[in-house]
Amino acid sequence: MFRTRIFMQPGLWIACCLLSASGTQAQDRAKAKVATEANSPEQAFQSAQTFQIAGDYERAAEAYREAVSGALRQLGNLRVSHKEYTEGIELLARAVQIAPTRVAARVDLAIAHFENRDFDKAKSAIEAALQRDPENLRALNLAGKIHFMKGDFSAAAKHLESALRQQPDFDTGYLLALADLELKNPVPAGVIFDEMQASSPPSASMHVLIGLAYRETGYLDQAAIHFAKAIQLEPQKSRVHSSLGLTFFLQGPQSYAKAREQLMAELSITPDDFTSRYYLGMIAAKEQKSTESEKWFEQVVAARPEDPDAYFRLGQASFDAGHLEKAVAALQKALALAAREGDHPDVADAHELVGKALEKLGRHKEADSEFVLAKQLRSQHAGPDSRQLPETSSAAGEAAPMTRSGQQELRSLLLRAPHASELSGGREAEFVKRVSALLGEAYHNLGVIDARASRYPNAEDEFAEAARWNPRIESLDRNWGLAAFRAERYEHAIGPLDRLLRQTPKDVNVRQMLGLSYYMTDQFTKSAETFRPILNELPDNPGLLYAAGVALVRSGDSDAGGRLFSRMLEHGANTPEVHLMVGQAHYGQSQYPEAILEFQRVLELNSNLPETHYFIGMVYFKQGKLDQAVEELNAELSLNPRSVPAMYQLAYVRLEQRQTEEAIRLLDTVLAAKPAYGDAHYQLGKALLDKGDANGAIQHLETATQLQPAQSYDYYQLSLAYRRIGRVEEANKALRTYQELKEKNSRKSPSDGPSK
């Protein structure tokens, strides 16, 4: 079952190295193996370049994604090896995202979660890996370990058996034996241990490992046998006598003498052994040798001054020895240290013992307070004290209840993962630099391929990633800016286009795209500044002329903007869209008569052009002609029934006309089409409040404040709604927020009529 070479001269370090997160390979020995793994993404990158040159762009893209995934995986594992889990997990998650079929990346992601002690996420990640490759050895090993740590020993054994069938391995077999012992199946565990011993020369470390497995799963007699054999092989081996001594202690009072003998033997070999001192103190306490117990726990406290349990045991011993003041001091120290850790199972006992000591000292009022605290804590934590050590021995071969510290010792061993690096700091930095450069190039080439296929949003994402890893790639800003512009992600286009324009200030096309990007993000002053040097060179494109004209007008240069509008009309006198844009420009400048003339010209050329009736209705609304506004807005909706702006504005007008029911119906329709429309939530909340439906109003007004937290008027109406149903504190808070925002912002009141 096991290959002999696996078990040659095993030492205790074998458990630490082999019993790590990844099963057969600890995080792929993240830093130790990182150099040898670097060729994989490089080879994928070279293959991708070959496909790209040959014109096979889909296969090239697939290979580039493989290269990116592999490189992200290497960097993610490196971060995890430094215990930088947040960054490492983010990189590994991206590796999985860009190449979902890469099972190795999914396993590494699960390992990262595992080492970060997030076993639920580790379980989800490893299950996803096994769905794609049910026989993956690393995944099976890790799945077994995850289930073991979550206490599902049956599932752990199932996965570990599958792994072991594929490849006999020391750590897999050891963990499977542990799972069998947890399941109270000692026979198959014994078979595994026998084969492990038969596969290597006699070793004290091997017996220690087996003894630990038996002891921490409750098989104390078998544990004692193996610890004794380890002592026979290496009588001076450190901490083996204490392991046997603890085992005898757990067997109960009949074995305390043997336990004391072994623990004292350990101290002769390892004078600073904490375990020996601790359990010598426990034995003395059990045998009611209070002074002796107090002596040992004083040494325990000196060795671990930040351990609340050490002070708790010292407090018990001092109380039993009649040293009441000393007991109170130790127990109060235990409570203070436990408070730093959060919940602690001995806290109730400590408070009760402090109470008893204070009672004997005549400090009855203080004692009563401690008793009350102890009672309250016990009511909150009903159930057996998991820290309680067993008082009685177990029958041979039966599991005895284990201490929490014992279980933690075993689990800590299983979680340990070595990260000794074979890369010096300089070599690691060079490696990161090289992989980052590859990532930048691979992402950039992926972006080029996607842009070529007009997949501009994907391309923009990939160019952004390329910039993250290697911003010095030639032509990156040009490609990135163009992709973002064509994807209509104007806010993303501004950065690369601005950098590009600084390098090539005479590039008219770049200037036009940057100017339009500023315009589309309402940065009119910057848009005007960008367009100004090329106003006379702008092509006769109505949309471009309109954007530049509006930017100029909105930034205070009405003359230059007007000249551009005139150019639009010169070259588009019979184009309704041109007149619509000119009319919108006049509307934006509150030049309502001029706007109406342009909109009427639009209707002469194309009576069905969308938005024309809407803007005529807006002009009438601004002029206070509400009936005419309703007529035009209804006309817009007859042509374009799904026009959210027209529906919203019609609802607003109906509110002005006190036709609340009709307004509510329209606003419900608006929100069905656009649930994140903050002003619609505000108007609906206000309308419901006017109707007397304060609870319904609050629902929409709270949503409005979430969607547009900088709008003061939302909070004002919300304060009224809260006050209406008696939520005074919340009403006052909302009103304070309204006042703060009103002072901060010089926004127009919605009662003046929004033009959304």
Total residue count of the chain as it appears in this document: 756
pLDDT, tens digit, 9 for 90 and up, residues 642-666: 999 999 999 999 999 999 999 999 9
Using CA atoms, how far apart are residues 585 and 47, in angstroms rounded to an integer? 54
Q: What is the pLDDT of residues 396-447, one digit of tens each?
A: 333 333 344 445 555 555 655 444 444 556 788 899 999 999 999 999 999 9
Using the predicted structure, report yes or no on whether residue 17 has a pLDDT greater than 80: no
Structure-model confidence comparison of residues 344 and 293, the more confident one: 293
pLDDT number for residue 23: 39
d(CA 43, CA 430): 19
- Check residue 596 and give its pLDDT: 92
> Taking a C-beta distance cutoff of 8 angstroms, is the pair 68, 99 a contact?
yes
Q: Is the per-residue pLDDT at 196 higher than 60?
A: yes
Provide DSSP, 45-80: HHHHHHHHHTT-HHHHHHHHHHHHHHHHHHHHHHHH
Q: How far apart are alpha carbons 18 and 333 in whole angstroms?
A: 39
Asked whether 163 and 140 are in contact (CB, 8 A), the reply is yes
Give the Cα separation of 551 and 473 in Å (integer): 33
**pLDDT at res. 562:** 82
Given a cut of 80, whether residue 392 has pLDDT beyond it is no
Structure tokens at 504: 């090539």
Q: Residues 325-336: pLDDT tens digits?
A: 999 999 999 999
CA angle, 359 as apex, 355 and 362 as ends, to 5°? Answer: 140
Nearest-5° angle of CA 70, CA 72, CA 73?
A: 60
Average pLDDT over residues 507-529: 95
Note the pLDDT of residue 624: 92
CB atoms within 10 A of CB 67: 29
Whether 68 and 41 have beta carbons less than 8 Å apart is answered as yes
Higher pLDDT, 641 or 565: 641
Q: According to the model, what pLDDT value does residue 344 have?
A: 62
* Angle 330-333-334 from CA coordinates, rounded to 5°: 85
Least confident of 92-101, 247-256, 407-416, 426-435: 407-416
3-state secondary structure (DSSP) of residue 287 = coil
What sections of 23-152 are H helices per DSSP? 34-37, 39-53, 57-81, 85-98, 103-115, 119-132, 137-149
Q: Are 715 and 741 in contact (CB under 8 A)?
A: yes
How many angstroms separate the CA atoms of 28 and 540, rounded? 62
- Cα separation, 719 vs 556, whole angstroms: 38
Percent of the chain whose predicted confidence (pLDDT) is above 70 = 87
- Mean local confidence (pLDDT), 189-213: 91
Per-residue DSSP letter, 7: G
Q: Of the spans 318-322, 399-403, 569-573, 609-613, which averages the highest pLDDT?
A: 318-322
pLDDT tier at 232 (50, 70, 90 boundaries)? very high
In this predicted structure, what is the pLDDT of residue 154? 95
As a whole number of angstroms, the distance between CA 398 and CA 505 comes to: 84
What's the confidence (pLDDT) of residue 377?
Answer: 85
For tokens 């500023």, what's the residue? 518
Q: What is the pLDDT of residue 744?
A: 78
Q: How confident is the model at residue 28 (pLDDT cuts 50, 70, 90)?
A: very low
pLDDT at residue 746, rounded to an integer: 56
Q: Supply the pLDDT for residue 343.
A: 55
Nearest C-alpha neighbor of 141 from the set 102, 181, 174: 174
**pLDDT for 572:** 66
Mean pLDDT of the residues in the chain: 86
Q: Which position has the token pair 């909150």? A: 380
Confirm if 421 and 81 have CB atoms less than 8 A apart. yes
> Residue 605: enclosing H or E segment and its boundaries?
helix 592-605
Question: Out of 196-205, 407-416, 699-708, which region has the weakest mean confidence (pLDDT)?
Answer: 407-416
Q: Rounded to an integer, what distance in angstroms lies between the CA atom of residue 526 and that of residue 174?
A: 68
Contacts made by residues 285-291, CB under 8 angstroms, sequence distance 24+: 285/313, 285/316, 285/317, 285/320, 286/253, 286/256, 287/253, 287/256, 288/320, 290/317, 290/320, 290/321, 290/322, 291/321
pLDDT of residue 394: 36
Question: Does position 588 have pLDDT exceeding 80, yes or no?
Answer: yes
Question: Radius of gyration (Cα) for the chain, nearest Å?
Answer: 38
Read off the pLDDT band of 389 (50, 70, 90): very low
More confident residue, 501 or 19: 501
Helix (H, G, I), strand (E, B) or coil at 571: helix
Closest CA to 204 of 221, 224, 226: 226
DSSP-derived secondary structure for 311-332: HHHHHHHHHHTT-HHHHHHHHH
Q: What is the DSSP code string of 223-253?
A: HHHHHHHHHHH-TT-TTHHHHHHHHHHHH-G
Tokens encoding 599: 């909109």
Looking at residue 556, what is its pLDDT? 82
Confidence label for 14 from pLDDT (cuts 50, 70 and 90): very low
- Scanning the structure block, which residue is given the tokens 């009141």? 749
Q: Which of 145, 115, 133, 104 is nearest to 19 (CA)?
A: 145
73: its two tokens: 């995986």
pLDDT of residue 308 exceeding 50: yes
Domains and CATH numbers, the chain: 288-384 (1.25.40.10), 642-756 (1.25.40.10)
pLDDT of residue 410: 59
- Give the model's pLDDT for residue 627: 93
In this predicted structure, the answer to whether residue 8 has a pLDDT above a threshold of 80 is no
Q: Is the pLDDT of residue 388 over 90?
A: no
DSSP for 257-273, please give it: HHHHHHHHHHHHH-TT-
Give Cα separations from 582 to 562, 636, 753 (angstroms): 9, 19, 22
Above 50 in pLDDT, residue 35? Answer: no
Q: Residue 466 above 60 pLDDT?
A: yes
Tokens of 155: 């599932």
The most confident of 6-20, 301-315, 410-424, by mean pLDDT: 301-315
User: What's residue 404's pLDDT?
Assistant: 45
pLDDT of residue 505: 94
Residue 308 amino acid letter = P
What span, in angstroms and rounded, lies between the C-alpha atoms of 137 and 160?
A: 9
Look up the pTM and report it: 0.69
Q: Which of 228-237, 292-301, 536-545, 659-668 has the lowest mean pLDDT?
A: 536-545
Q: With contact defined as beta carbons under 8 Å apart, do 483 and 463 qualify?
A: yes
The answer to whether 216 touches 407, Cβ cutoff 8 Å, is yes
**Which tokens hold the place of 310?**
């050490």
Tokens representing residue 416 in the block: 């340990």
Block residue for tokens 């374009």: 640
Whole-angstrom distance, CA of residue 222 vs CA of residue 394: 12
Could you write out the DSSP letters of every residue in 508-530? HHHHHHHHHHHHHTT-HHHHHHH
- Measured distance CA(492)–CA(498) in Å, rounded: 11
Phi, psi of 591 (to 5 degrees): -95, 75
d(CA 151, CA 149): 5
pLDDT band of 752, cuts 50, 70, 90: very low
pLDDT at res. 382: 59
